[in-house]
């Protein structure tokens, strides 16, 4: 007997259907979450094709391991962690992490007080996307995902000091880019 999934099915019913390997439930789960999961992968992998590969591989892992989801905590958070790990796995395979240690950068904290608050989210995401991959990865894990440097170091197989250095350098580059942006107002800001 096959489970028939209606568009109004709850997330809990979709999860149960996916745990039974029901293709309709899997398709509906994908349709419900693919844009958000792609955005997560895109934060780490700026190439949209690589981000899509990571997302698809991530969904395959979701389907393979959904039986392990016990229903405690956020299902979306569980999926998000899989997508982040899949993106990091692709980065490690390519070995494109730029490692840079600069103790002087670690000692000073940057101030963003002088920057205008009128920055649009898409402008900020573009600035983050333009960071070198190592800086972008550590910045995303620390500032967006909320991981600590010890966890980041373990996930990326780098030293804790390297994680701190990467974050510091990412912040410096972002601050420089934000200052350049502020000095040259965009058309979208002129309409506010």
**Region for 21 from its dihedrals, namely left if φ exceeds 0, alpha if ψ lies in -120 to 50, beta otherwise:** left
C-beta neighbour count of 32 within 10 angstroms? 15
For the chain, which domains are there?
A: 11-94 (1.10.1740.10), 103-190 (1.10.10.10)
pLDDT tens sequence across 92-143: 887 655 444 443 343 444 444 444 455 677 777 888 888 998 899 999 999 9
pLDDT tens sequence across 150-163: 999 988 889 999 99
Apex 97 CA angle, 51 and 89, nearest 5:
45
Q: What is the 3-state secondary structure (H, E, C) of the chain?
A: CCCCCCCCCCHHHHHHHHHCCCHHHHHHHHHHHHHHHHHHHHHHCCCHHHHHHHHHHHHHHHHHHHHHCCCCCCHHHHHHHHHHHHHHHHHHHHCCCCCCCCHHHHHCCCCCCCCCCCCCHHHHHHHHHCCCHHHHHHHHHHHHCCCCHHHHHHHHCCCHHHHHHHHHHHHHHHHHHHHHHHHCCCHHHHCC
pTM of whole model > 0.85?
no
CB 158, CB 97: distance < 8 Å:
yes
pLDDT given for residue 116 in this prediction: 43
């Amino acid at each position: 007997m096959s489970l028939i999934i209606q568009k109004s099915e709850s997330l809990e019913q979709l999860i149960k259907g996916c745990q039974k390997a029901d293709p309709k439930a899997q398709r509906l789960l994908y349709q419900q979450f693919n844009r958000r999961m792609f955005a997560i992968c895109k934060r780490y992998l700026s190439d949209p094709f690589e981000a899509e590969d990571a997302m698809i591989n991530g969904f395959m892992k979701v389907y393979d391991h959904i039986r392990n989801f016990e229903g405690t905590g956020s299902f979306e958070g569980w999926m998000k962690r899989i997508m982040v790990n899949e993106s990091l796995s692709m980065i490690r395979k390519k070995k494109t992490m730029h490692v840079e240690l600069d103790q002087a950068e670690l000692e000073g904290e940057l101030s963003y007080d002088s920057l205008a608050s009128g920055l649009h989210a898409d402008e900020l995401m573009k600035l983050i996307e333009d960071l070198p991959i190592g800086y972008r990865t550590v910045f995303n894990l620390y500032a967006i995902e909320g991981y600590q440097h010890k966890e980041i170091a373990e996930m990326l197989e780098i030293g804790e000091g390297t994680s701190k250095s990467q974050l510091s350098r990412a912040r410096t580059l972002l601050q420089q880019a934000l200052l350049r942006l502020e000095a040259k107002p965009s058309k979208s800001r002129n309409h506010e």
